[in-house]
Structure formats: structure tokens, C-alpha cells
A and B are shown apart, each in its own frame.
Chain A
Amino acid sequence: MLAVIGVDSVDDLFAEITEEMRPKSFDIPEGLSEMEVLSKLEAMAAKNATDRVSFLGAGFYDHYIPAAVDALTMRGEFYTAYTPYQPEASQGTLQAIFEYQTAVARLLGMECANASVYDGGTALYEALMMAVRKTKRRKVVVSEALNPIYRVMLGSYTTNLDVELVTVPYKDGQTNLDGLKDALDDSTAAVLVQNPNFFGSINDFTELFAAAKAVKAVSIMSAYPVLQTLLKTPGEMGADIAVAEGQSLGLPLSFGGPYLGIMTCTKTMVRQMPGRIVGRTGDTEGRTGYVLTLQAREQHIRRQRATSNICSNQSLCALRALVHMCALGEQGLRRAARVSIERAHACAERLTAIDGVDMLTKGPFGNEFAVTLPVNAFEIIDKLTERGFVPGFPLGRYFEGLENGLLVACTEKTSEEQIGIFAEMLRGALK
């Protein structure tokens, strides 16, 4: 090969990297065998205590994943393909994305979807920017009952931009509907809410979204996909954009990623959408096929005038979500949602039967709820974790004044027995 190239050594190929540019150090340990790497990482994995019974949620849930999800999405033909830039050789990926778009649009009751973005927080930020571009306004009204992890992300992302975030405080464990409505005016680009909200309570935003529409602001809702098989959809409420963290659809918790940012919108907003979108079309023989479409929005064509800089997305995670939804089907997914809700209500009943433990979440809730404890939630978390239970998320981490608040989530994987033991442990810990 060197002879064909016409050089004497591989070093000659790097001659343009002159002496002054050579590495000052490159102290990387020598390689290990495959077996050695595996045992090293198995040992590291073993240092993570994943045997605890967990009631953690906070937007990220441990739902059952059917075996078919791994079996199908680990096929190398899906797994080791790149973005479908050559459609004739990528009909598998393209049709799968088209079906994913269909599934999430139906789930959220919206008209259109893109092929995904990084995660639910990025989806919210991108939705916000869609609204800012569409309305040419800069004020965005945000419910404080929106996941606080996403609120801090929105703050960071907009630091250098001409966008003003106006946060409307939650009220009595609830999304403050009146407060949000009052904050809307004709300088408002968008209103951002979440259902169920961070405290687990379920709302109907129909009136709020109508009020937003009246001032020509964009309504954006963040949803929880599994519960969305049951709950009134953002589409039914009149949302212009609906987003969601798709982790609960067939993705393991995996310490924070890879997850899935689901983005859906009305047809009138689709040209503002970031990222890839697949459309159906035909070939020269009249056969149905799929292509990346509306690419004039994207960075590889528009460069600095693109709707977003997003290029790589979470395609394989979208495929997992699609296979998950298909394998469980409408009925399976509804069953998972119903059982999760039932377990959470059983759990809430057991916990609030304990002296000094009261419901913080008001009104209807789904598979997650908040309680106030008579002591600081961190203390209880420390105590119970030692005994094999992670009892929930401490609200004091993000909400001043809620230091005694504990956010508790159940899924269909939570057993009634576990709920019983958890309640007894909490009772003991509070004595």
C-alpha cells in the first residue's frame, strides 16, 4: 500500500504535523484483552447498588421493557447504520422513523412529529425556540410545576439569547392556572406547562391554551408518554406543540441516557421544527418509499439560518420506543399505565395513614405523588436507603420551603408487598 501511495513509511503520511505540533505526552495505558475489559467493567458495575427497591421517578421511570425491544433493536442492520442520507439503502430506518412519528403523534393527539431530539429537556427548549421564531416575541411563561431539571436547562440554554423566562409559582401543590393566565399578554411567545406536573397532579389546560391563543401565543405541553394512553391529550386541549421525555417507552434508566426527546406539533408549526423529519413518497416505479423531508430547515443546507443546530438525534432510542409501543400494543401500554396508577394510589393510602405524613399533591394524580413528612426528607432517604429502599425524590432539592417533601413514584414493576414494607419502614423511621 505504501508503494502505491509512493511513500516509504506511515510516518511520511504525517509529515505535515511538524515537530512543534507533536504530542507533549500520550500516556495511555496499553490495551487489555476483551475478557480483561469485561471483568474490569463488571467489577465497576458491581459497585453500583441496583438491588435497592426504588420509588424514584421525577420524570424518569422504571417500566417493564418487553424482551422483543432488545432483540429487534440490537440487530446490526439498524444499529450500525448512519443517518439515512441515501434513502434507497435506508428504507428500514426511514419507514421505522415514519412509524415512530405516527405513533407519538397519535399518542399525544398531535398532527406531526420529528424523528427525535436528545431528551425531553432539549425538546422543551427547542419547542420554546420554535415559538419565539414563529411569534417573533421574546417572553416565555413557564409553570414552576414543570420539572425543575428542565427549568434549569431552559435557563442555561437561553442565557445568551434574547429570551425572557417568566416563572409562575406553583400554588398549593398545583399548577397555578390562574397565575399562568394572568401572565399572558400580547408580548408572550409561549406558555410552557407539564401534565402530570412535577408533583404528579393531573390538569386540563384547555382554558389556559385558549387564553394563550387569544393573545396569539404558542401553547406548549410536556407529557408523560405511558400515561398519555389514558389522559386527555395535549392535542385535545389545544396545544400547538407537545413534547415528552420518551425514556418510559422501552429505554432503561442507564444513569441518565441515552434517552429520547419526543417532539410533536400542529401542521402549521412543522416548518419551525428542528431536526430530521421523514415523509412518505413514491419511487420512479410508483412504489411507496420514505425520505428525509423538509430539509430546507436543517443545518447542512441552511447553515447559520437553520431552525436548529441539531444533526445527530436519538434514532435508535426512537426505534426502541416504537418497538416497545408495538410489542405492548395499545392494550398492553394502557394496562401498564393503569396498574402503575393503581399502585401509586395504594402507596399513597398506606403512607398517609402514618401519623404526620400528609398528601402534598392535590387533586387527581397518576403514578406519582408528593407527601410531606414530619422531618427533612433527606434524613428519611438516608435511613431507608441503608435498609434497601430508596423512598423517593427530595423536593427540597429544588423547592425552597418543601424540605420535608418527598416525591414518590410507582410503576407496574412495584409490587404490593414492596409498598407494604416501604410503609412499615417509613413508620418505623419516623418514630
Chain B
Amino acid sequence: MKTIFEQSVAGREGCWPCEGAAEESYIPKELLRGGEAGLPSVSELDVVRHFTRLSQRNYSVDSNFYPLGSCTMKYNPKFTEVVAGLPGFTRLHPVLPQLRGAGGLCQGALEVMYEIEQLLCEITGMAAYTMHPMAGAHGELTGVMLMAAYHRDKGNKKTKIIVPDSAHGTNPASAATAGYEVVSVESKDGIVDPAALEKVLDDEVAGMMMTCPNTLGLFERNLPEVVRMLRKVDALLYYDGANLNAIMGKMRVGDVGFDIVHWNVHKTLATPHGGGGPGSGPVGVSDRLVDFLPISRVRKREDGRFFLDYDCPKSIGYVAPFYGNFGVYLKAYAYVLRLGGTGLRRASENAVLAANYMRKRLSGHFEVPYDRICMHEFVASASPQAKDGVHALDFAKGLLDRGYHAPTIYFPLIVPEALMIEPTETENKETLDKFCDDLIELAELAKTNPEALTSAPVNLPVTRLDETRAARSMELTDDL
């Protein structure tokens, strides 16, 4: 398909933003650019057709079952878009609260921030939240900065952060970004092994980052033991909220001893992923970390009015220019109000039910390395099939051909040929069954006609793409 630049015709005009072409130049010539930028000159209809056609070359939750493990691709209710589009929110300039009196102009927005913080506190059992981090990884970085501030304040000399080998890649990257040495701890039987932890735990450990259930979809049974061990060396425990969709109303991370937690609002609280973002990664903390939260904090006065508090002397400072992705967590707020406590608990129950059902249905046809009760997702493996030359990647492509998005196949790194499947609570049984039937059929096909899988996909706009060529030729724009 041609790019929009290839469709450009000199002199063709699109939408006019306003009348009055100011001809007078207020800026000396030497400060102006040498020529035009080369943005497309196309009609509005050209634009509409182009992007409509592009959209049709995408799989999405609205059009396809999307069991992409660890990404919680649940249905995103449409009414939340209406909420986020209310002009009373979209037109609000972010510096208003800094204008003293004019802070009174944004009471509704501050109330949203205050209320969602309260709700997240209660759902996870934490003392306070910041809504500022703009994605899960941003929440992780904020969390690790909070750890650093806590230890600096106490005069602790800490240099290391422990990350289980099953963790998402963002965990070690976030710890390193904040200046820590990363220490990996091996899992045993799919979960953190206290004996292995003992070996790497010492006084220099600032904290540990845990995902629970972990990326294998397994509940970390040894959690209470891990908490006791970390407390002994004054290390903090971080909860990676990527998999919070499994435990809402079933366990509160604050109650069990976590000090820091981030949410992936774009997973658990149903805000759309937008092809990679924007997300929102609020961070909650236990009592001992409240003073270190980013500037500013939303507060409620006795008269019921809200204001932002910028006087936070122990704070880690600013992780965002303002208050994070307000337009995103506004949708999450609407979602939580809609579901309520019972709805959230049921969401987790149904997500776990669906995952276990699929695990059982598939376990005779694929290897399931940890074939016991899982939480909201599970990891199957195409290792047996790989011996005959059909890899997890080939099953992924075969599924694309049948109209499904593929499971996650690039991690967890500790399972070879991983197929990480997360159905979420919003899919009905018919969809789950059809997917399992089709995947089982693919397993049969791998025996009878492996070629059909290794050459897949054939029903999509393109067949397999040459990634090596992309990396070598570096065509990163229409001009290179």
C-alpha cells in the first residue's frame, strides 16, 4: 500500500484550520527554514480513505480474539471514551492548578484524581498513590526511584535489586535505568525459590521486584516467606502489576507485605492499548514510602475542596510534566465505578476460570510445563513439535491465518517455545472453544503437513517479513 507521502500532489489542500493567511513575516529570514518540510499535500478524503484502509490491515480486540499473554487484552467498554471526550476534561489546561486562585477552575479534574487514588488504595491495600507514571515501565522506574529515596533517607547503602528469572524485561531495565545492579534469582518449579533467594540476599539489596501471579501464570506460593526474608535486610518488595487482573478482590498486595505496586491501567482497568500506548502506570506505596511520592499530590480540604500540594520536601521530584495520562485514567475511573467491588472480583474470577479451562483443553495436545491450577494465564510449549521443525512462531503465524491474534511467544525466557495464553474474562465460552479447536487442529497439522504452518500466514496482507533486511537496510523513513 502506498504511503500517504506517495499520494501527495503539490498544491492539493486539505482541511483549513482557520481563515486569514497572515502574509506579513514577523520573523527574520535567517531564522526560517530553507524550504517546505515535505508534509503530504492531500485532500481530506484522501486522508480518510488512507487511514481507514490502514486500519483494516490490523488485528484488534474489536475485531479478533487476542489472547496475547501478559497483555490482558480485554474488551474496552465504549462508554469510557464518551467520558474521556467530555469537553469539561479535554479542554483543561494542565498549568491551571499552578495559578493560585485559578486552581479553582479544575475542581472536577482534581476530584477525579483524588477519587481514583482512593479506589486504587482500597483495591490493593496501599496507603497512597501517584497517578503520574504514564506506562507500566514508567511506574517501575518511579517505584525504583522511590526505593532509592527511602534508602537514602535512612542512610542505607544499597546497590542491588533482585529480579526473578521469569520477570518481564522491563523489570531489570527499570532497575538499571535508576542506577542499580540487577541480580537474577532462579525459579524452582516455576516460582521463586526461597533457598535460591537466600543465596543472593545480602545487606546491599535495596529491594526485589516480583510479579504475582508471575509470567508463567503461577501464584507465588512462597510469598509470605519472601516478605520475611526481605524485611530482615531492610529491602523493599515491589509488585509488578502486569498481572493484577488475576487477583482483584482475592488478595491485596499491601496486606501481604508489598511496599510498592504499579498498575497497568491499560491492561487491568480496560483502557485501550492504542497500538502500543498511551498507557497509565499509577504507583501505590505503603506508609513508609508516602513522603517520597512524586510532586504534586492531590489533597482534599475540610471544606471538600481539592488542591495540589507542591510542598513535598522528601519527594523524588517530577516523573511527569503534570499528573500523568489524565485522559487514560479517567477512563479507568469510569470502568471501576461501572464494575464496582463485586464486578472487579468477578472479572478476576472469570479471567482465572477461562485460563484454566483453556489450559485443560490444550494440555493433551501441547506440553504444559507447569500443568497445575494457574491464574489468569498459562504457558504452553511447542517444544515437542519443535523437534519436528514446527516452532512456537509457526503456530503463532498459523493462528493469524485463522483470524486470531497469536499468544505471546517471546517470553518468559525460561520456557522454550513458549505460547503464553491469556484469554481474559470478557471472552465467551464459544470463542474459547473455537480457539482451542483450531489450535488443536494446528497441532495435528504440524504432524501431517508442517509446511502449511512454516509458510503461514498466507491469508494476510503480507507473508512473513524479512526482519534481518529491515535491521540491515535501516529504511526508517520514506527518505532513507
Contact = CB atoms under 8 A, between A and B. Distances in A.
Contacts of A313: 135, 276-278
B39 A326 contact: yes
| Size bracket of the A interface | 35 or more
Interface stretch (B194-202, B342-350, B381-389, B439-447): B342-350
A20 interface: yes
Interface string A385-402: 110001001100100000
A7 B333 CA distance: 34
Given A13-B373, A21-B256, A253 B92 contact: yes
A289 interface: yes
Interface string B255-296: 110000000101000001111111100000000000000100
Task: Give the 4 A-B CB pairs with smallest separation, nearest first.
Answer: A45-B88, A156-B317, A256-B322, A316-B274
B327 interface: yes
Given A119-B134, A280-B470, A16 B106 contact: no
Contacts of B342: 30-31
B71 A82 contact: yes
Contact of B148 (A86, A88, A159): A159
A88 to B, nearest CB: 5
A375 interface: no
B369 interface: no
Interface in B56-111: 56-64, 66, 68, 71, 73, 76-77, 79, 81-96, 98-102, 104-109, 111
B32 A231 contact: yes
A257 B328 contact: yes
14 contacts: A5-B373, A10-B353, A13-B353, A16-B373, A47-B111, A62-B91, A88-B463, A115-B276, A118-B134, A230-B32, A254-B84, A300-B411, A326-B39, A335-B17
Nearest to A409: B93
Given A115-B276, A156-B317, A378-B99, A28 B357 contact: no
Interface string B109-126: 101100000010011010
B95 A270 contact: no
Interface stretch (A103-111, A168-176, A211-219, A421-429): A103-111
Contacts of B477: 98, 101-102, 105-106, 111-113
Interface in B1-26: 1, 3-5, 12-18, 20-24, 26
Interface string B446-480: 00000000010100111111110111011111111
Given A56-B95, A86-B405, A335-B21, A106 B37 contact: yes
Nearest to A41: B83
Nearest to A235: B33
A107 B40 CA distance: 11
A276 to B, nearest CB: 7
Interface string B406-443: 10101100000000000000000100000000000000
B130 to A, nearest CB: 12
B250 A88 contact: no
Contact of A27 (B101, B168, B175, B341): B341
A2 B356 CA distance: 9
Interface in A64-118: 64, 66, 68, 70-93, 95-99, 101-103, 105-107, 109, 111-113, 115-116, 118
B51 A253 contact: no
Contacts of A84: 275-276
A372 interface: no
Interface string B177-220: 11100100000000000000000000000000000000000010
Contact of B15 (A68, A88, A304, A317): A68
A122 to B, nearest CB: 8
A60 B361 contact: no
A152 B318 contact: yes
Given A119-B320, A282-B465, 13 more contacts: A29-B341, A37-B338, A48-B91, A58-B95, A80-B76, A98-B3, A279-B473, A281-B465, A291-B467, A312-B266, A326-B50, A339-B20, A339-B21
A21 B276 CA distance: 34
B478 A99 contact: yes
B229 interface: no
Contact of B397 (A28, A88, A162, A381): A88
B277 A317 contact: yes
Given A231-B31, A293-B470, A92 B58 contact: yes
B89 A254 contact: yes
B300 interface: no
Contacts of A300: 168-170, 410-411
Contacts of B77: 34
Interface in A323-376: 323, 325-333, 335-336, 338-339, 341-342, 345, 364-366
A24 B255 contact: yes
A272 interface: no
